[in-house]
Chains A and B, each alone.
Chain A
Amino acid sequence: MDQVSLKIHKGSFTAVIGSNGSGKSTLAKNINALLLPTSGAVYIKGMDTRVMEYLWDIRQSAGMVFQNPDNQLVSSVVEDDVAFGPENLGVEPLEIRRRVDEALKSVNMYDERKSGPHLLSGGQKQRIAIAGVVAMRPDVIIFDEPTAMLDPKGRKEVMTIIKTLNSEGITVVLITHFMDEASLADYIYIMDKGKVALKGSPGEVFSRVEEIRSYDLDVPLAVMVAEGLREKGIDVPTHIVTVKEMVDYLCQ
C-alpha cells in the first residue's frame, strides 16, 4: 500500500474493490491493527492503532470476518465458537450466553448452535464467523472477501446478513471483487497497485466503465446493460448501477 488515505463514517457501508494483489486485504488488516502502517496512521474512533494500550479496544470495536470459512472457526461446537470473542474480552458467563444466543439469531443460525462446523455449508460457516464477531459488540465489521469461496446460495445468505447488520447501525467495510456486491454500498474505493485509483458513490464510480476495466475489474450487470442501451441511442442516466435501479428506470 502506498499513500492511501480514506475516511469511513459511522453507520456507513463502504466497499473496497481491487484485483488480487491490489493491496485491499492489506488495507483491511491495517484497520484493526493486525498489521501496522510503515508510515502514516490509522485511527479507529480516534484511537491510533500504533498505540499498544488501545490494541484490544480497537480489535473489539473493529471486528473482522475473513475469506476462508473453514480456517477462522476455533471450536468444534458452533455456540462455543461464537463465545470465543466475548470470553477473550472477559465478559461475565451469563452475559456471554445472552450475546451468543442473540448473535446466532441475528445470522439465522440459532437452530444449528450445537452443531459442528464441519457439518455446515460454507455459507453457514461464514455466518457463524459473523456471529462470532457480532457477539463482541463491535462498531464496525470489516469483511475481507467474505464470499470469495462460497457458492451463489452462500453468497446471497452472507450478503443479506451484511445488509441487515448495516441497517441495524453497524458500520460495514466490505472488501470484494464482486461488483454486484459493491454496488450495494454507499461509497466505493477502487484500489490498484496499492493506491486508491477511484472513489465515490457507486453511481460516480461505475460510470467510468473504461477506467474500471483498465484495473482488471468487471462492471456490474446493470452498468453493462446501460452501456449497451446507450450505444443503441437510449439515454440511460449514469447513476443507474444496480439491477433494481435499472428495473425501476425501464419500467417507470
Chain B
Amino acid sequence: MIRDITLGQYFPGESGIHRLDPRVKIVMALTYIVALFLVKDFWGFFFAVLVLSIIIKASGVPLKFIIRGLKPIFIIIIFTFTVNMFMIGGEVLWQWKFLHITREGLFIAVFMAIRLILLIIGSSLLTLTTKPIHLTDGIESLLKPLTVFKVPAHELAMMMTIALRFIPTLLEETDKIMKAQMARGADFESGNVIRRAKSLIPLLVPLFISAFRIAQDLAMAMEARCYRGGKHRTRMNAIRIRKGDYVAVFLLILFVVIIVAEPSIKGLLV
C-alpha cells in the first residue's frame, strides 16, 4: 500500500554514482531533464535511454526497484498517453464514432510517454543515489549565491530535510487513522466524488492535528538543541568536489553536445 512507494526514496549504496558530489548530481539531473525536452526524434531518446541505462547499471540500484517507483504515476502516464492519442489530428488510422487515432497522435503519445518515463526515472535516480541530507546540502549550496537576492537558501534546505524525515512518520499516521476510522464503520472507498471528499474529513482533521503537534514538538526539540538558523552553523560532512566529479561534469557536457547536435550528426551520416 502506502509503504510501497519508492519515489523519492534513498537506496543505500557505495557506488561511484552514490559518491558523486550532490551538487554535481543535481545539475546532472536538471540537465538531463532539460535535454529530454530538446530531443526531437527517437534516435535522441535511444541515446538518452542508453546513457540512463549506463548510469543505472553503475549505481547498482536494481531496475525492479526503480520501476516500482513508477507505479504511483502510472495513471498519469496512461492519462497523458490516452489524451495525446485521441486528441491530435492528422492521418486517421482507426475510428469509432467520435473517437479516432491518428498517426501523428500515436507518434506524439508514444513520444510523450517515453519522455515522461525517462524524466521520472532520471529524477528518481537522483534521490535514489543521494542521501536526503546530502541532497538538501547540495540544494543549499547551489542556492547560496541567491541569498544576495534574499532567497532563504538555508531555510529552504532545512524545510526539505524535515519534510523528508517526516514523510514515513506521516504515512504511518495516515495508515493508523484510516484504520481507526474504518473500525468505526467509516467508508473511504464507495460513493460519488462529493461523498468521497466528505468521507475524507475524519481522516484529514486528525492528520492535520498530528502534523501540527509534530511541528510543535520538533520546533521545541530543535530550539533545545541550540538551533538558530544557518548562521554559525558548521557541518559534520561538508560536501567537497572530488576527481570523479570532474569526470562526471565532462561526461555531462559531452552528453549535452551530442543531444543538441544529434539531428545534424544524423544528417551527416545519412
Q: Which residues of A contact B (CB under 8 A)?
A: 29, 32, 34, 56, 59-60, 63-64, 66, 68, 70-77, 79-80, 83-93, 96-97, 100, 114, 116-118, 129, 132-133, 136
Contacts and interface: CB of A to CB of B under 8 A. Distances in A.
B234 A68 contact: no
Contacts of B156: none
Contact of B221 (A71, A77, A80, A91): A71
Given A73-B165, A76-B132, A77-B131, A66 B236 contact: no
A72 B221 contact: yes
B182 interface: no
Given A34-B224, A79-B236, A88-B227, 10 more contacts: A63-B225, A73-B165, A74-B218, A76-B10, A87-B233, A89-B226, A93-B238, A96-B234, A114-B12, A118-B172
B134 to A, nearest CB: 9
B169 interface: yes
B227 to A, nearest CB: 5
Interface of B: 10, 12, 131-133, 161-162, 164-165, 168-169, 172, 213-214, 217-218, 220-228, 232-238
A213 B55 CA distance: 67
Closest A-B pairs by Cβ, 3 of them = A71-B217, A72-B221, A118-B168
A63 B224 contact: yes
A55 to B, nearest CB: 9
A14 to B, nearest CB: 18
Contacts of B238: 93
A91 B238 CA distance: 12
B233 A90 contact: yes
B225 A88 contact: yes
B225 A80 contact: no
Contacts of B12: 114
Nearest to A60: B226
B165 A97 contact: no
A83 B131 CA distance: 15
Nearest to A142: B224
A150 to B, nearest CB: 16
Given A72-B218, A83-B236, A59 B165 contact: no
Contacts of A73: 165, 221
A152 to B, nearest CB: 22
Contact of B161 (A75, A116, A133): A75
Nearest to B214: A71
A84 B235 CA distance: 8
Given A77-B131, A80-B133, A100-B236, A32 B224 contact: yes
A210 B221 CA distance: 37
B165 A75 contact: yes
A74 B217 CA distance: 11
16 contacts: A60-B226, A66-B224, A70-B214, A71-B214, A75-B132, A76-B164, A80-B133, A85-B225, A86-B234, A86-B236, A87-B233, A87-B235, A88-B226, A88-B227, A88-B228, A118-B169
